[in-house]
Amino acid sequence: MNRFLYYLIFINMIANIIASVPRILILEKSNGAIIAMVLGTIAGLLITYITIKFYNAFPGKNLMELLKIYTPKWFSISVLIYFAANWYIAGSITLVTFTFVLIRFLTPEMPIITIAISLLIVVSSSLLIKTKSILYMIEITIVIFSPLIIFFLMKSVFNDVFEIDFVKIALMHINELPNYSAFTASTYLYIGIVNMAVFNTFFMKRIKLGILPLLILGAGGLFVISLTYFVPIGIGGFDKIDDLIYPWISTSDSIRMKFGIIERLTFFFLLVFLAIAILSISIHWHGACRLLQSALGLEKFKWKGHDLSPIFCAILFSFVSFLLILYLSEGQLFSYTTYFFNLLPVFFGISMVVFLVIKRRAAK
Amino acid sequence: MRVFTLAIILLLSTVIQSGCAFKDIDKRILIVAIGIDPAENSEGYKVTLKIALPVASVKQASGPRFAYFTEESETVGESLRILETHIDKVLEFGHVKAIVINEELFKDGIEDFMDYFTRRADIQLIAYVIAARPSAEEILKIEPDTEAASTVSLLNFFDDTGTESPYITTSFLFQFRRDYLGKGIDSFVPIIETNEEKNELIVNKAIVSGEGSDPIVLDQIKTKYYNSLFKSKAGMDYKVEDDNLTFMLYIDKVKMSYKIIEEDKKPTSIKINAKFVGIIGQSNHALSQDKLNHYNELSEKAIKEKMTDFFKTLQEAGLDPGFGLRYRATRLNSDGLYEKWEEAYKDLPIDINVTVKLKSTGALE
């Protein structure tokens, strides 16, 4: 089962390519993005390490169970609600961003309501399935789409129009103090690990934490963050790249498959990343739903033996997201996303406190 | 029961999918190229659309069929909106593959309307940017004799699947944007011309433009040098003359590297190394295989002269093929770095070192 841990982490890393992370980094391109990316990767790796180490002490137990056993009720409920809100927002950011991307690039004439409803139906269905099925869903998606993603990334880097001098200019801004927003955005790449709170039920064995796994995670994270940042710069130039609202979509539109089935790579890119985005949203929302269920004690909420709480979650989540899609403008979405990222250290801080409390009480 | 319900829901969901975002393909019309000229009567622009008309089958078609629409207005966006009222179908911009701009427009304010094309997300960023001489409208309306059904000649020049020549520069929309707006690099855009009978398209010149400097037109030779040095386009011919011996080189590999030499934190010169590998393709005298080294030297001298000429032209106009970019890319960023370069570039000595390696004298001695 250990491989699922890597899937969880990597799927979230890749999903961030189309979300706000590249734009945040690019906006800070001459404000210390480079050092921030390195520091963000180190911080992310550290958080991953601590989280895995914590759950290793409790194989097969998820956070909800642990909180219930070891902490007082007021503490566990408030922590769970806070966590559920964070999970939900993380999923919603990807959802709203992707809806905006779809209407801008793929189907400009379709009403936004139709796009929103069709995405919400797919994502909501992920709330109704078993937690274990989510893990299998991740595996299948990774198997099907990772060759395509690798092909796409290679195609964009090994391309005549990829101008290495622009990338070097970006690198030459290494002599600047790290930027806070860029730092939190880079840390966000490692957000996948927090899903262990829900999925640890299936990790019965200890997860190995030697040099090699950390090296894979560190190198993988560094690889993804540098592609996220440098590919748009290499193709779109350094000086005016910050004018592009979706740097990665524009980059994919700049790559030509001369003898491909379709010449314009964007559509191919959008469809592949649609799958990745839906998966990422599903993971987050599924987590949010499980946390909320546990916090509010929704397990008792039954009708003729059927558990109604996932349906309740699905309706609540979809409704709020629907309103967000309708009323947010792109600028608002971006600034709220930045606030959310900037508050990320608080989230990690609270996680650490929770880990510490549980560990202390368990040791007694 | 569950499966059945799910199947019903899935089937019902197909009702809201009717393809092409609710408008059928026969209600759409595909624009192949957009042409932009200065307006004739007033301030603003004249926009020309080249529209491909569908044919039932390629076998029946006698040749390509196009329709042209023209409209003048203050901005490009307005003209396109007005043109929507001239055509009964939806204008589909997703297939625009060429943006043809009157050469005159490069002189002032090209940013004004180029912004429109990058802002509209449905126009491909891999559309070609082309300069037109004498006017975009005229160039778009030419249907060359060699044009076959279901192809567009205008595009074949640039997409590297048809003709490939070192005289042809290719510039994509995203590339134009990044080079034009970039500091330390300027954009090279092909110029497309026509003959007197208006049945041919000719592409062998380029126009160089950048933010804040006047554009210049490169002649055939200089365009060829740009493409083979900076885009590594093979198949270039060089004429070498020495006393009464004249021969042509056929170069199939060009490699160029350059670096900026700096002293006392100020750029002092540009050092260029260029290597050419090829054969002799044509000669007015018998040649000897043993004297290849001698021919190498002759060619080196001739090529160096042409290269110096090419770089000097750009330098005098204050246009940059990418040296400034390299300067910025090899130094730690600091305030005023680019300004320092800009100041120095105009009279920076260029040190060119050419190596020619001829492999053979062709099939003849």
Domain boundaries, chain A: 2-363
- Say what the pLDDT of residue B163 is: 81
Contact list, B21 vs chain A (CB under 8 Å)? 107-110
Q: What is the largest CA-CA distance in chain A?
A: 66
Chain centre to alpha carbon of residue A47:
15
- B181 and B44 share one domain: yes
Q: What is residue A19's predicted lDDT score, i.e. its pLDDT?
A: 80
- First and final C-alpha spacing in chain A: 30
Q: Which domain holds residue B158?
A: 24-218
Q: Is residue B174 domain-shared with residue B199, that is, in the same domain?
A: yes
Which positions in chain B touch A259 (Cβ < 8 Å)?
161
Please tell me the predicted confidence (pLDDT) of residue B239.
80
Structure token digits, residue A312: 């309740």
Does residue B21 carry a pLDDT above 70? no
Domain count along chain B: 2
- Statement to judge: residues B290 and B362 lie in one domain: yes
B17 lies in some domain: no
pLDDT category at B172 given cuts 50, 70, 90 is very high
DSSP state of B55: -
Residue B272 included in any domain: yes
Cα dihedral value A42, A45, A49, A55, nearest 10: 140
Which chain B residue shows the shortest CA-CA distance from A237?
Answer: B178
**pLDDT for the residue numbered A1:** 65
**Which site among B178, B183, B233, B260 would you substitute to test the A interface, given the most A Cβ atoms closer than 10 Å to its Cβ?**
B178
Q: What are phi and psi of B284, to 5 degrees?
A: -95, -5
Does B357 reside within a domain?
Answer: yes
Domain match, B201 and B288 both: no
Of the residues B174, B197, B218, which one is the last residue of a structural domain?
B218
- B336 in Cβ contact with B199 (< 8 Å): no
Chain B residue with CA closest to A242: the answer is B178
Of the residues B218, B247, B274, the one at which a domain ends: B218
- B265-322 pLDDT, tens digit per residue, is 888 889 999 998 888 888 887 777 788 888 888 889 888 988 999 999 999 888 989 8
Most B CBs within 10 A among A169, A171, A176, A258, hence the mutation to make, goes to: A169
Q: Quick one: pLDDT at residue A96?
A: 92
Examine the domain organization and report whether B327 and B182 are in the same domain. no
- Given a contact cutoff of 8 angstroms between Cβ atoms, the answer to whether A310 and A134 are in contact is no
Residue B143 near residue B113 (C-beta atoms within 8 A) = no
CB A222 within 8 A of CB A230: no
The distance of Cα B364 from the centroid of its chain, to the nearest Å, equals 37
| Chain B CB contacts of A175 below 8 Å | 332-334
Q: How far is CA A91 from the centre of its chain?
A: 7
Q: Within a 10 A sphere around the Cβ of A14, how many other Cβ atoms?
A: 24
B329 and B208 fall within a common domain: no
Write the residue in B21, B122, B322 that is nearest to A110 by C-beta: B21
Confidence of residue B16 (pLDDT cuts 50, 70, 90): low
Please give the single-letter amino acid code of residue B350.
I
Q: Taking CA atoms, what residue in A is nearest to B95?
A: A264
pLDDT along chain A (364 residues), means of 10: 85 86 91 92 92 88 88 89 92 91 84 88 88 90 90 88 91 90 92 88 81 89 92 90 89 87 85 90 92 80 74 90 91 91 92 91 83
Minimal C-alpha gap between A283 and chain B (Å)? 22
Q: Could you tell me if B296 and B357 lie in one domain?
A: yes
Q: Is A327 exposed, middle or buried (0-12, 13-18, 19+ CB in 10 A)?
A: exposed
pLDDT at A261: 79
Which carries the bigger pLDDT value, residue A286 or residue B65? Answer: A286
B65 and B195 both lie in a single domain: yes
- B250 with B339, same domain? yes
Superfamily of domain A2-363: Amino acid/polyamine transporter I (1.20.1740.10)
**Chain A residue with the nearest C-alpha to that of B13:** A118
* DSSP H or E run through B290: none
Domain CATH for B307? 3.30.300.210
Are B213 and B236 in the same domain? no
**Is there a domain that residue B198 lies in?**
yes
> What pLDDT is attached to residue A106?
83
B21 has a chain A CB within 8 A of its CB: yes
Min distance A263 CA to chain B CA atoms (Å)? 9
The answer to whether residue B223 is domain-embedded is no
Residue B19 lies in a domain: no
CA A364 to chain centre: 36
Number of DSSP helices (H) and strands (E) in chain A, helices first: 16, 2
Which residue in chain A is spatially nearest to B9 when comparing CA positions? A121
What's the pLDDT score for residue B22? Answer: 64
Q: How many CB pairs under 8 A join A and B?
A: 92
Q: Give the distance from CA B301 to its chain's centroid.
A: 29
What are the residue ranges of helices labelled H in chain B?
A: 2-13, 76-83, 110-119, 136-141, 153-156, 173-181, 220-230, 292-317, 323-329, 337-345
| Bond from prior residue into B134 cis (ω within 30 degrees of 0) | yes
* B73 beta partners: B45
Residue at B132 is within a domain:
yes
Predicted confidence at residue B61, as pLDDT, reads 67
Q: B203: burial class by Cβ within 10 Å (0-12, 13-18, 19+)? A: buried
Q: What is the pTM of this model?
A: 0.89
Residues of A in contact with B159 (CB under 8 A): 258
- Given this model, what pLDDT does residue A166 score? 92
Q: What angle do CA B231, B306, B235 make, to 5 degrees?
A: 40
CB contact under 8 A, A168 and B125: no
A71: helix, coil or strand?
coil
Select from B163, B195, B218 the last residue of a domain.
B218
Asked whether residue B240 falls in the same domain as residue B158, the answer is no
CA B142 to chain centre: 19
Contact flag A263-B126 (C-beta cutoff 8 Å):
yes
Q: Is the pLDDT of residue B58 over 80?
A: no
Q: What b/e sequence results for A261-299 when a residue is b if at least 16 CB atoms lie within 10 Å of its CB, and e otherwise?
A: eeebbbebbbebbbebbbbbbbbbbbbbbbbbbbbbebe
> Does B191 share its domain with B165?
yes
Instruction: Give B 322-361 residues with CB within 8 A of chain A.
Output: 322, 325-326, 328-334
Contacts of B175 in chain A (CB under 8 A): 161, 254
Report the residue of chain B nearest A238, measured CA to CA. Answer: B182
B186 confidence band (pLDDT: 50, 70, 90):
very high
**In B1-79, beta strands by DSSP E:** 28-38, 45-52, 66-73
Nearest to B160 among A118, A250, A258 (CB): A258
Spatial contact of B251 and B276, defined as CB atoms under 8 Å apart: yes
> Is the pLDDT score of B24 beyond 80?
no
